[in-house]
Chain A
Amino acid sequence: MRGALAILSKDLRIEWRTRESLASVFVLGVLLLVVLTVAHDPTPEAAPALAPAVLWVSFVFTGLAGVQRGFLLERENDCLAGLLTAPVDPADIYAGKLAANVVLLGATQAVVVPLTGLFLHADFWPVLPGLLAVLLLGNVGFAALATLFSAVAARTRARETLLPLLFLPLALPLLIGAVQATQAVLAGGLGAAREAVAVLVAFDVVFAVAGWLLFAYVVRD
Chain B
Amino acid sequence: MSDPPVRAEGLVRAFVGTPVLAGVDLVVRAGEAVVLLGPNGAGKTTLLRILALLLRPGGGRLALFGTEAREAPPALRGRIGYVGHESLCYPDLTAAENLAFYARLFDVPDATARIAELIGWAGLELAAHRPVRTYSRGMAQRLALARALLHGPDLLLLDEPFAGLDPEAVAMLQRCLGGLRAAGHAIVLTTHDLERAAPVATRLAILHRGRVAWTQEGAPEPVVVAAAYQAVVAGRA
Chain A residues at the B interface, C-beta cutoff of 8 Å: 2-3, 5-6, 10, 13-14, 17-18, 73, 76-79, 81-89, 220-221
Contact = CB atoms under 8 A, between A and B. Distances in A.
Given A3-B105, A221-B54, A221-B56, A87 B74 contact: yes
Contacts of B52: 81, 85
Contact of A89 (B56, B74, B76, B86): B74
A108 to B, nearest CB: 20
B164 interface: no
By DSSP majority rule, is chain A's interface helix, strand, loop, or mixed?
helix
Interface of B: 49, 52-56, 74-78, 80, 82, 84-93, 97, 101-102, 104-107, 131-132, 147
B88 A221 contact: no
A218 to B, nearest CB: 14
Contacts of A89: 74
Contact of A84 (B54, B91, B101): B54
B58 to A, nearest CB: 11
Contacts of A221: 54-56
A14 to B, nearest CB: 5
10 contacts: A3-B104, A13-B93, A18-B92, A73-B92, A78-B87, A82-B88, A83-B105, A87-B76, A87-B106, A221-B54
A81 B105 CA distance: 13
A86 B77 contact: yes
Contact of B84 (A10, A78, A87): A78
A182 to B, nearest CB: 35
Nearest to B87: A77
B55 A77 contact: no
A84 to B, nearest CB: 6
A5 B104 CA distance: 9
Contacts of B85: 78
Contacts of B54: 81, 84-85, 221
Nearest to A92: B74
A77 B82 contact: no
The 9 closest A-B pairs by CB, nearest first: A82-B88, A78-B86, A6-B104, A86-B105, A87-B78, A87-B74, A77-B86, A87-B77, A85-B82
Contacts of A13: 93, 97
Given A14-B93, A81-B84, A220 B101 contact: no
Contacts of A76: 90-91
A78 B90 contact: no
A26 B74 CA distance: 39
